[in-house]
Amino acid sequence: MNKVLMKGNEAVCEAAIRAGCRYFFGYPITPQNEIPEYMSKVMPENGGVFLQAESEVAAINMVYGAVGAGGRVMTSSSSPGMSLKQEGISYIAGAELPCVIVNMMRGGPGLGSIQPGQADYFQSTRGGGNGDYRHIVYAPASIQEMVDLTMEAFDIADLYRIPVLVLGDGMIGQMMEAVEFKSIKPIELPDKDWITDGTKEIRQPRIINSLYLDPDELYAHNLRLEKKHALIESREVRFETQGLENAEVVCVAYGTTSRVVKNAIEELEAEGIKVGIIRPITLWPFPDKAFDEISDTTKALLTVEMSMGQMIDDVKIASKGRWPVHFYGKSGGLVPTPTGVKESVKKIMGGK
Amino acid sequence: MNSLFQKPLTIITGHYGSGKTEIAVNLAIAAAKSYQVVLADLDIVNPYFRSREQLNKLKPYHVEVIGSALMNSTLELPALTYNVIAKKNQENTRTIIDLGGDGIGAKQMSKYSKSIHLAEYELFLVVNVNRPETKHCEGVLFHKESIEQQSNMKITGILNNTHLLKETTEEDVFRGMTICQQVSQKTKIPFLGSFALETLSRQMMKKKLQKPVWPIELHMREQWMS
Interval A140-153: pLDDT, tens: 999 999 999 999 99
Question: What integer pLDDT is reported at residue A158 of this predicted model?
Answer: 98
Q: Give the closest residue to A205 by CA, choosing from A192, A195, A190.
A: A195
A1, A4, A5: which to substitute to probe chain B, counting the most B Cβ within 10 Å? A5
Three-state SS annotation for B37-89: EEEEEECCCCCCCCHHHHHHHHHHHCEEEECCEHHHCCCECCCCCCHHHHHHH
Question: What integer pLDDT is reported at residue B47 of this predicted model?
Answer: 67
Domains of chain A: 4-235 (3.40.50.970), 240-350 (3.40.50.920)
HSE of B220, CA atoms in CB hemisphere, 13 A:
21
Chain B residue numbers with beta carbons less than 8 Å from the beta carbon of A3 are 130, 164, 167
Question: What integer pLDDT is reported at residue A253 of this predicted model?
Answer: 98
Chain A residue numbers with beta carbons less than 8 Å from the beta carbon of B225 are 175, 259
User: CB–CB of A114 and B128 under 8 A?
Assistant: no
- A 32-91 residues with CB < 8 A to B: none
A111 touches chain B (CB under 8 A): no
Percent pLDDT > 90 in chain A is 97
C-alpha to C-alpha distances, A301 to A137, A327, B221, nearest whole angstrom: 23, 8, 29
Contact A333, A113 (CB under 8 A): yes
- Phi, psi dihedrals of residue B95, rounded to the nearest 5°: -105, 130
Q: Is the ipTM of this complex over 0.90?
A: no
pLDDT in tens, A170-187: 999 999 999 999 988 889
Provide the pLDDT confidence category of residue B81 given band limits of 50, 70 and 90.
low
Nearest to B131 among A5, A171, A338 (CB): A5
User: CB–CB of A113 and B74 under 8 A?
Assistant: yes
Whether residue B71 is predicted with pLDDT greater than 60 in this model: the reply is no
Question: What integer pLDDT is reported at residue A227 of this predicted model?
Answer: 98
CA distance A275 to A250: 6
**What distance in Å separates residue A154's CA from the closest CA in chain B?**
24
**What is the Cα A314 distance to its own chain's centre?**
15
Whether residue B15 is predicted with pLDDT greater than 90 in this model: the reply is no
Topology, domain B2-221? Rossmann fold (3.40.50)
CA distance B48 to A176: 11
Nearest to A5 among B74, B130, B224 (CB): B130
Residue of B nearest to A141 (CA): B225
- Phi, psi dihedrals of residue A100, rounded to the nearest 5°: -120, 130
Contact B97, B84 (CB under 8 A): yes
Chain A residue numbers with beta carbons less than 8 Å from the beta carbon of B222 are 335
Contact A172, A256 (CB under 8 A): yes
- Phi, psi dihedrals of residue A155, rounded to the nearest 5°: -65, -45
Whether residue A352 is predicted with pLDDT greater than 60 in this model: the reply is no
A211 touches chain B (CB under 8 A): no
CA dihedral A230, A232, A234, A238 (to 10 degrees): -140
**Cβ neighbours, 10 Å, residue B25:** 27
A340 touches chain B (CB under 8 A): no
Provide the pLDDT confidence category of residue A137 given band limits of 50, 70 and 90.
very high
Extents of the domains making up chain B = 2-221
- Phi, psi dihedrals of residue A76, rounded to the nearest 5°: -145, 160
**What distance in Å separates residue B69's CA from the closest CA in chain A?**
13
CA distance A263 to A268: 9
3-class DSSP assignment, residue B21: helix
- Number of CB pairs, chain A paired with chain B, less than 8 A apart: 55
User: CB–CB of B48 and A113 under 8 A?
Assistant: no
**What distance in Å separates residue B224's CA from the closest CA in chain A?**
5
**What distance in Å separates residue B162's CA from the closest CA in chain A?**
10
A28 touches chain B (CB under 8 A): no
Question: What integer pLDDT is reported at residue B101 of this predicted model?
Answer: 67
- Phi, psi dihedrals of residue B208, rounded to the nearest 5°: 55, 55
Whether residue A61 is predicted with pLDDT greater than 80 in this model: the reply is yes
B127, B224, B225, B226: which to substitute to probe chain A, counting the most A Cβ within 10 Å? B224
Nearest to A114 among B74, B131, B163 (CB): B74
Question: What integer pLDDT is reported at residue B76 of this predicted model?
Answer: 62
Out of A182-191, B9-18, B154-163, B217-226, which region has the weakest mean confidence (pLDDT)? B217-226
Whether residue A351 is predicted with pLDDT greater than 70 in this model: the reply is no
**What distance in Å separates residue A174's CA from the closest CA in chain B?**
7
Chain B contacts to A (CB-CB under 8 A): 16-17, 46-49, 74, 128, 130-132, 135, 163-165, 167, 222-225
Nearest to B130 among A4, A7, A115 (CB): A4
Contact A329, A307 (CB under 8 A): yes
Residue of B nearest to A2 (CA): B130
Burial of A87 (0-12, 13-18, 19+ CB in 10 A): middle
User: CB–CB of B130 and A177 under 8 A?
Assistant: no
DSSP B192: E
CA distance A249 to A289: 18
